[in-house]
Structure 1
Amino acid sequence: MEKAVNISSGTFNLAGVQAVGRLFEPEFSSLGFQTNWIALPDAVGRAGHLFAERKGGKGKRLLLIGHLDTVFEGDSERFVRLDTLAAGAGSADMKGGDVVILYALKALQSAGVLDGTRIVVALMGDEEDAGPLHLVSREPLIDVAKRSDVALAFEEDAGKGTVARRGMSGWQLVVSGRQAHSSGIFSPGSSYGAIYEAARILNAFREKLSNEHYLTFNPAVIVGGTDVTYDSAKISGTAAGKDNIIAPRVFARGDLRFISQDQLLKAREAMRAIVADHLPGTMATITFEDGNPAMPPTKGNFALLAIEDSVSRALGQGAVEALDPGRRGGGDISYVSDYLDALDGLGVKGMRSHTPDERVDLRSIVPATERAAILIYRLTRSR
C-alpha cells in the first residue's frame, strides 16, 4: 500500500496512473492472471485501465472492481504511518481496496483454490473524474460485465454493505425576460424579469420534488442581472445590474441524484413542466446531461449481501446490513449493475476521503482481505 500511495496518481496525472498500474501488473501476473493495459482514445483524456483475467470453468464468473486514480496528489500526500492509521492520497479511496483485492487473491492462491476460477480484475484509471466521455471510458468495463455473473467493488467500507448507489445527472437552466424600467414590473404587459422566473422555477422544484425518497437536486451556481457572463465548462460567471432595470438574463446549474432510471426520467419530466409554466414576459429552458447511472437495489444484490453477512459472521466480524443509498455517491459499479448482481463497499475502513487529510485504518486491512477471500471462494464454488 505504501508503494502505491507514494505514486502520485491524480486522475489527470496520466503517467502517474499508469505507474500505479505497472506496480500492480506483475503481482496479478504472478497469480496466473493475463494482464492487459486498456488504452483509451486521445479524446477521452484519461490514462486507461489495468485489467487482469483468469479463465476457467468453476463457479460464478466474477468481476472485481477497483481504481488507480486519486482526487489529491503531491509530496504532501505521501504515505505517513500514524500509529494504527496512515495518511496519504488514495490510502482508503481506493488504493487500500486495490490491495485487498490483490491479497485476497494471493490467499486463495496459497490455499490452492484459485485454479479453475473465472475472475476479471478491473482497476480503472479515472473513477474520480471520468469526464464528458465517461461512456467511452466505461465500454471495456461494461463489455466484461456482460460476460460475468457478479461484480464486487472495493470502495471504502462504510460499516454496511452497498447494495445500491444513487446516480447523478446535471442540469442547466437558462432564463430570459424583457428588459425594462423596474417601475413597470408586475404591470400588465410588462415582464416579471429573469430573476423572479428563475426563483419561481427553483422553488417549484423544491416544493414538488423534495419529498421523493432518494431524489435530490442542488442548484450549485446562479448568475443573473443585466450584464451576465457564464462559462459552462468552468461553472463560473459574472453578473452586474441596476436597481431600476428588470433583469433580462439568468443562468443556473446543478446536479440531480436518483435511485433508478425511472425516477430520473420522471423527475426530468416534472422539472420540464415546471420550467414551461412561465411568468409573464419571461422564457426559460432546461437541459440535462447524463452522469453516473444509478445502481438500484435488486434481489440479486441483496442475495450477495446475505452471503457477505454469512462470511462476516463466520469470521467473527459481526452482521452486515445494507447501507442507506443516500449515504453513498456514484461509483464504477453503477455502470455495470444492470447486467449482473453487484455489491460494493468491500474495501478498507477510512476517513476524510476526498480531502487532503485522507486516512486509512490499517487495522481494517486484514479483516477486509479475509472477508473478500472467503466471499470470492464461496462465489466461485456456486453456480
Structure 2
Amino acid sequence: MTEHAARTHLAEVRAWLEPRADDMAALLMRLVAVDSENPPGRALGRCAQVLREAMEALGLGPEIIEITDPSGALEDPCIVRGSAGDGAELIYFHGHFDVVPAQHRRQFTAERRDGRIVGRGTADMKGGIVSMLYGAAAARELGLLDGGRIVLHLVPDEETGSVLGAGHLRSAGLIDRRARAMVTAEPSGGSIWNAARGAVSLRVDIRGREAHVGQAHLGVNAFQHLLHVARPVEAYAAEMAGRHTAHPLAEGDAPGTMLVVGGLFGGGSNFNVVPGSAHFTVDGRYNPEEDLDAELKRLTALIDAAAAEVGAHVSVEVTQLQPAAGTAPSHPAAAALARVVGAVEESPARFALCAGILETRWYAQLGIPAFGYGAGRLDVSHGPDEYVDEAAMRRAAAVYALYARELLA
C-alpha cells in the first residue's frame, strides 16, 4: 500500500469514527452499567446480550456460544462471536467483558467528563471492546477488508484465568491457526504488547491439631508452621525479582519476575484455640525467559523441604500454570501493526512486555502472531478512578480498522 493510499484510508476512517463519538460513549456507559464482576462472575449473560445487540446494530453478525462452568460459579457464562467481511484470510479481534471487583458500587454508573469516561472496566477492557466493534464496522463499511474478514471473540472469564472462555475457543477448534494475526484490546496505553509474562499460582494448606489455650501443649499450631514454610518462599520471591528480562518494558514496570506471597491467607477457628489449619497463596508473573515447569518444581521443593524441617503436614494446589507468549517485533505482522500505530498516533510505535499475562497465549500457542494494544492505561485499570480517554478510544478503533486493511488487503 502506497503512502498516499495509507493517508487516504486513515482520513476515511477518522471521518467515519468522529461523528460516532457519542454512540461509542453511550455503548461504553451501557456496558459499564452491567456489573460483570469476576470473581464472582455475575451478570455475564446480561453483558453478553448488550454486546450482541450492539454488534447486531453494527452489522457484525453476532452469535452467543454458551459454555459450561463445572464449578457453577459463573453466572450464565458465554462467548460472543461475530464477524465483518466474508473472505478466507482472517484476523482475530479478541476481548473480555468481565471486570475485576469494584471498590464501590458507584463505579458501575459511568461518568463522562473532560474527554474521559470514568467507571469500572472502562480501561480494562470494555472501552477496548467498543473500539474493536467500531473499528471492525468501519473496516467493513469503508471496504477495507478486500475479501478478508475480521472475527471477533468476546469472552467472560479473563480475570479468573480464561480457561472457560478463550480455552473453550481453542479446545472447540474455533481458532483457525491460519489466521494472519490476533489483537486484544488490553490497556497498553498506546504501546504494543508483543510479549507477556507467564503465571504460576499456588495455594498452600497446612494441617495442625486444635487444642484449647489451656491445653495448648496438646495442639499442633498450623500458623507457626505457616510462618516457617512461607519464609523460604519469600526469599525465593526476592531472588526472582532480581532476575531481569531482556524485553523492553513500559515505563515504571519492574524488570524482574514478580511474586506475591500471602495475597490470601487465613486459618484457625477462634482466638483461644490452637489453629488446626492455615493457608496462604503464592501468585507469580514470570518473565518469558524463565522455565515455568522448572520453577514450579523448585518452588514446591522449597515448600516441602521447609515443611519437613518442622514436621508440618502441607499440601500444595497449583491453581494456575499459564505459559508466557511473545511475537518478535521483526515479524511481518508486528511490523505492520507498528506502521499503523505510528501513522494513527503520529509518533513511532513502541513494543513492550506486558507486566501480566495475556490471552494472546491461546493464539500464540497455535502459531498465530498475537498482540495486546488498546486505548486504556494499565496504571488506572482496576483502580477506584479507572477511566479511558475518548479520543484514545477512537484512535484505537482506527488502528484496528487499518490493521485489518494492512493484513488482509
Normalising by structure 2, report the TM-score.
Answer: 0.73
Structure 1 residues 8 and 176: CA distance shift in structure 2, 3 A: closer
Does the alignment pair 1:37 with 2:64? yes
Q: Indicate the residue corresponding to 2:294 in structure 1.
A: 266
Count residues in correspondence. 350
Map of 1:234 onto structure 2: none
Distance 2:87 2:293 in 1: 40
- Aligned partners of 2:309 and 2:35: how far apart in 1? 52
SS in 1 for 2:291: helix
> What's the offset of the Cα at 1:297?
2.3
Aligned to 1:172, what secondary structure does the other structure show? strand
Equivalent of 1:26 in 13, 34, 56: 56
Inter-CA distance 379–309: structure 2 relative to 1 (3 Å threshold):
same
Which segment drifts farther, 105-114 or 254-263?
254-263
The residue number in structure 2 matching 1:304 is 333
Q: Do residues 164 (structure 1) and 192 (structure 2) align?
A: no
| Secondary structure class of the residue paired with 1:352 | coil
Distance of 2:227 and 2:118 partners within structure 1: 48
Distance 1:193 1:353 in 2: 37
Kindly state the Cα deviation for residue 342 of structure 1 after the two structures are TM-superposed. 0.3
Cα deviation code 1:103-161 (max 9, x no counterpart): 2223222322335213210111333346xxx4233344323334433111112232311
Distance in 2 between the 1:281 and 1:78 partners?
Answer: 52
- In the alignment, structure 1 segments of 5+ residues that lack a partner are 184-191, 230-237
CA contact (8 A) 2:90 2:180 kept: yes
CA contact (8 A) 1:275 1:284 kept: no
Partner of 2:110: 79
* Structure 2 counterpart of 1:163, one-letter code: N
Residue 257 of structure 2 aligns to which amino acid in structure 1? Answer: L
- Counterpart in 1 of 2:311? 282
Q: Percent identity?
A: 20
- What's 2:27 paired with? 3
How many Å separate the matches in 1 of 2:226 and 2:99? 39
More helix by share: 2
Q: Counterparts of 1:239 and 1:337 in 2: how far apart (Å)?
A: 50
Q: Calculate the TM-score normalised by the size of structure 1.
A: 0.78
- Whether 2:152 is the aligned partner of 1:92: answer no
Change (3 A) 1:139 1:207: closer
What aligned pairs does 1:128-277 form with structure 2 within 5 A after superposition?
A: 128-129=159-160, 134-142=162-170, 143-147=173-177, 148-175=179-206, 194-195=225-226, 197-206=228-237, 208-213=239-244, 214-219=256-261, 220-223=263-266, 228-229=268-269, 250-260=278-288, 263-277=291-305
1:178-226 deviation digits (Å, cap 9, x = unpaired)? 999999xxxxxxxx962553244334424654423342221123447xx
Question: Could you tell me how far apart the structure 1 residues matched to 2:290 and 2:176 are?
Answer: 22
Runs of 5+ unmatched residues, structure 2: 1-24, 218-222, 245-255
Seen in structure 2, the aligned counterparts of structure 1 residues 272 and 119 have a Cα distance that, compared at 3 Å, is same
The answer as to whether partners of 1:25 and 1:50 remain within 8 angstroms in 2 is no
1:17 equivalent in structure 2: 47
| RMSD of aligned Cα (Å) | 3.4
